[in-house]
Copies of this chain bind each other. A is one copy, B any other.
Amino acid sequence: MRTTLWLAAGLFLAGPLAAEPYSEEDLAIARELRESALAGDGGYEIVAELTTDIGPRLAGSEADARAVEWAVALFEEMGFDRVWTEPATFPTWHRGLERTEVVSPAHHELVTLALGFSPATPKGGIEAEVVMFDDLAALEAADPAEVADRIVFIRNRMERTRTGAGYGRAVGARSVGSRVAAEKGALALVIRSIGTSNNRFAHTGMQRFDSDVRMLPAVAISNPDADLLERLMAGDEPVRIQVEVDAETVEAYTSQNVFAEITGSEMPEEIVAIGAHLDSWDVGTGAIDDGAGVAIVTEAARLIKALDRRPDRSIRIILFAAEEIGLWGGRAWANAREDEIERYQLVAESDFGAGRIYAISARVKDEAWPVIAAIQDELAPLGIEIGDRGGNGGPDFYPAAALGVAAVDLRQDGTEYFDYHHTVNDTLDKIEPDALAQNAAAYAVLAWLGAQAPMDFGSGETILAEEAQREASAD
């Protein structure tokens, strides 16, 4: 309802300004960028190198440090005007052994990954009878007597959608299942993987982590293994399983957000920031999550850098640290910019794989929406439609949202993203080079036209004030 209202407002405001926000020269350059990105394979080379020379790079691991070095060296080699890092400090976690075995009425080893920040079990594991719930809500509603001294199995299956909305609906089982089960006296948590593939991969990911809340050892099993467990549960005999996790939480590690800048010629203090996260889960090689994003934004900036002129505003690449385990790089970035968020013309992160972009959404001041529409005109040949006014810029920019940052979402087709995401199967071959090039083209056009825009997009007080007004009139 609210979305529709503001869309209508946007269309109305589009009248006086939509005609010519950009010069012919700026548009010609946008088209040139688009065509060079589509014709090249620079993005694919970047993600091939990251996944081959570095591989998986869990925040806080030795490979994380090597990835930071790799990114700095790459940006320096590309000749950006400034390359630097900024620290981000966070608790981290190391995976060890993880094992789920059905011990009766039949014996099965289930394909398993521990969930982020799972505590360890005693050596040898925990063995108990399984109690199964349809979803988190069913567990929340359960009588503790049903749950106590058992291992909880939440069986909800993620639904496949283009937007990835199925993830949000299913992921609660992972993010808070362990603490809910702990409150009711359970011994461990097993969830059906929050993923769409029937291939036998378990799907890891973050749990909401507060050091003062008790969590249980928690694992995900693959979809076929969850099917098997359901079939066993449908039988007459009680099902007993063993869960063993040997993992370790480490109090504090400092990694780095990595930056590169093309300094603007006219308004160098105003910044278009395009980002991705450099860390990955420790399984797979972090190709679609988020090597693809690293490749997309780096290739987009590289193409702009290669122009024979500078953008009016500055353009920055930000490769965030420690996204997977709690948006720590994004938090550090936002914290350091509390007093200067107005300098950010727009922010946009690529962190949804390598599927084609199909729409542009944006969180900008009302007056700037026609400029977004003009940018979309240049994205249309890439198959990109106008979206809604609701962008948040991507996960690493969530912490900046409260500061009112102007944000653009280039929405990717996520139909297959959750087949690979957070599994050992997230490898380079899952990236379609043409789709990756389409993404780089879109980010190049966005960053360029964002930097050349005839007005600011309202980061900070302007956007917050407009949003507050909408809230008030919607009440």
Contacts and interface: CB of A to CB of B under 8 A. Distances in A.
A198 to B, nearest CB: 5
B231 A55 contact: no
B224 A429 contact: yes
Contacts of A18: none
Given A48-B231, A228-B285, A53 B429 contact: no
A442 B427 CA distance: 41
A52 B105 CA distance: 10
A123 interface: no
Contacts of A54: 106
B52 A429 contact: no
Contacts of A107: 55, 63
A53 to B, nearest CB: 5
Contact of A199 (B63, B111, B199, B428): B199
Contact of A52 (B48, B106, B424, B428): B106
Contact of A108 (B55, B198, B224): B55
A201 interface: yes
Contacts of A111: 424
A227 interface: yes
Contacts of A228: 51-52, 285, 427-428
Nearest to A227: B429
B424 A106 contact: no
Contacts of A232: 52
Contact of A53 (B63, B106, B284, B424): B106
Contacts of A310: none
A94 interface: no
A31 interface: no
Interface in A200-215: 200-201
B429 A55 contact: no
Nearest to A419: B199
A224 B55 contact: no
Contacts of A48: 231
Contact of A428 (B224, B285, B427): B224
A314 interface: no
A193 interface: no
A12 B395 CA distance: 73
A425 interface: yes
Interface in A225-241: 225, 227-228, 231-232
A430 B223 CA distance: 12
Interface string A172-199: 0000000000000000000000000011
Nearest to A287: B224
Contacts of A105: 53
B52 A200 contact: no
A232 B63 CA distance: 17
Nearest to A51: B228
A424 B425 CA distance: 13
Contact of A227 (B223, B231, B428): B428
Contacts of A223: 429
Interface in A84-122: 105-108, 111
Given A48-B231, A55-B108, A231-B48, A429 B198 contact: yes
Nearest to A284: B200
Interface of A: 48, 51-55, 63, 105-108, 111, 198-201, 223-225, 227-228, 231-232, 284-285, 424-425, 427-430
Given A55-B106, A198-B429, A223-B429, 8 more contacts: A51-B228, A52-B106, A52-B232, A53-B105, A53-B106, A108-B285, A199-B425, A200-B427
